[in-house]
Amino acid sequence: MKFEFDNKRITGVLTVVPHNTVKFDDEISNYNFSEKQSKKLKLIMGYEEKRVAPKGVCSSDLCEYGMNYLFDNNLLKREEIDALILVTQSPDYFMPATSNILHGKLGLKKETFCIDISQGCSGFIIGLIQAFMLLEQKNINKVVLLNADVLSPKVSKRDRNSNPLIGDAASITIVEKSNKNEKIVADINFDGLNALCLNIPAGGFRMPSTMETAIIREDEAGNFRSLDNLVMKGDDVFNFVLNKVPEQIENLLSSNGVTKGEIDYFLCHQPNKFMLQKLADKLTISYEKLPNNIVENFGNASGVTIPTCISFNLNENLLNNEYKVCLSGFGIGLTWASMLINIGNFDFCKIIEY
């Protein structure tokens, strides 16, 4: 599905990360792997440390903290917010929607449109598309896009496939109408036949959590997890990314008459350093134009990784400069989405700790 928008822009990005840091080296003993093998895995994948939310802290807590930071520093006013979008796979409750809970905690006006979107790795781009569509409405001028996930409690500590990389975070992106007539284009695809390549088998209505689903078992690769934990078919996901994502990006560029040389940065979802380096190789672009350093510093917080990449790698450069970028998210669903957009001249762009 292709999308095209104009007269829209991002005016600020704030990322909120937990202050609690967990280092890869401190968890090596959890894995059914020799220390030498674990150190090699660390080097290849770019594992170093991740940010993990304290026990009991939910996605809404990180979002509320970040929103109050913006209010307190006069970077955002409550009465300006016409719509609130929350993209998360870790809602506070099955019901009600977490965006409604945040609406109440933040004291937003009754007219503010609120919606939850259940999406992961492509969630930033999906959220932007939804924000741009809302801005087509006459009475909507400013949309707050929240991306947040606290998935660390759903990962087995003895699963070397997932535990080294999963981190927690939230981001707040302000999206507004603009007088600059700059075209924004996006493409998004879905492969529901392979949706369960990344999933948490138990805990929903299909398979409620029980004492049985909580039993830890060893898989054929020597990982230990229960049905309540995240499971990832790593090889399938890797092949999916390298087969589908470069093709989508190349097609999006060519169909809009844009060369790779015209793109200042390719800002992608951050699964691990190895996969991103292979993606850059497939696209024949430099590693500098496709940053791969988020997992080693913060971990993979699903849909939050692209705004984290923006906040960490471009930060204050975006206050007075503008860049032409290609955003790309890919993973759970299976979903892959790419967008061409100019970003810059922001009101704020930073990372804060919860």
318-330 pLDDT per residue, tens: 999 999 999 999 9
Do 268 and 301 belong to one domain? yes
Higher pLDDT, 39 or 186: 186
Residue 230 has pLDDT above 90, yes or no: yes
Q: Report the number of distinct structural domains present in the chain.
A: 2
> What's the DSSP call for residue 54?
P
Q: Are residues 158 and 275 in the same domain?
A: no
Q: Which residues contact 320 (CB under 8 A, 6 or more apart)?
A: 344, 345
Structural domain harbouring 140: 2-177
pLDDT reading at 227 higher than 90: yes
pLDDT band at 181 (very low <50, low <70, confident <90, very high): confident
pLDDT at 182: 87
Q: What pLDDT is stored for residue 290 in this prediction? A: 98
> Which distant-in-sequence residues (6+ apart) come within 8 Å of 305 by Cβ?
121, 124, 269, 270, 294
Q: What is the mean pLDDT of residues 22-39?
A: 93
Per-residue pLDDT, 53: 98
* CB-based contact 309:268 (threshold 8 Å): yes
**% the chain with pLDDT above 70:** 100
Prior bond to 334 cis, omega within 30?
yes
The CATH number of whichever domain residue 92 belongs to comes to 3.40.47.10
List 266's β-bridge partners, or say none. Answer: 326
**Does one domain contain both 18 and 160?**
yes
- Mean pLDDT value of segment 146-169: 96
Regarding whether 294 and 239 lie in a shared domain, the answer is yes
Q: Assess whether pLDDT exceeds 90 at residue 22.
A: yes
| Judgement on whether residues 99 and 152 belong to the same structural domain of the protein | yes
Residue 221 lies in a domain: no
134 and 245 share a domain? no
- pLDDT tens-digit readout, 35-72: 899 999 999 999 999 999 999 999 999 999 999 999 99
Q: Is the pLDDT of residue 270 over 90?
A: yes
Closest CA to 217 of 209, 232, 227: 227
Burial (Cβ within 10 Å: 0-12, 13-18, ≥19) of residue 215? exposed
Counting Cβ atoms within 10 Å, is residue 293 exposed (0-12), middle (13-18) or buried (19+)? Answer: middle
Q: What is the mean pLDDT of the chain?
A: 97
pLDDT at 118: 97
How large a percentage of the chain has pLDDT more than 90? 96
pLDDT at 5 over 90: yes
Query: Is 351 within the bounds of a domain?
Result: no
**Model pLDDT, residue 180:** 85
293-311: pLDDT as tens digits? 999 999 999 999 999 999 9
Average pLDDT value for residue range 188-203: 96
Task: Please name the amino acid found at residue 71.
Answer: F
Looking at the DSSP bridge assignments, the partners of residue 258 are: none
- Over residues 129-140, mean pLDDT: 98
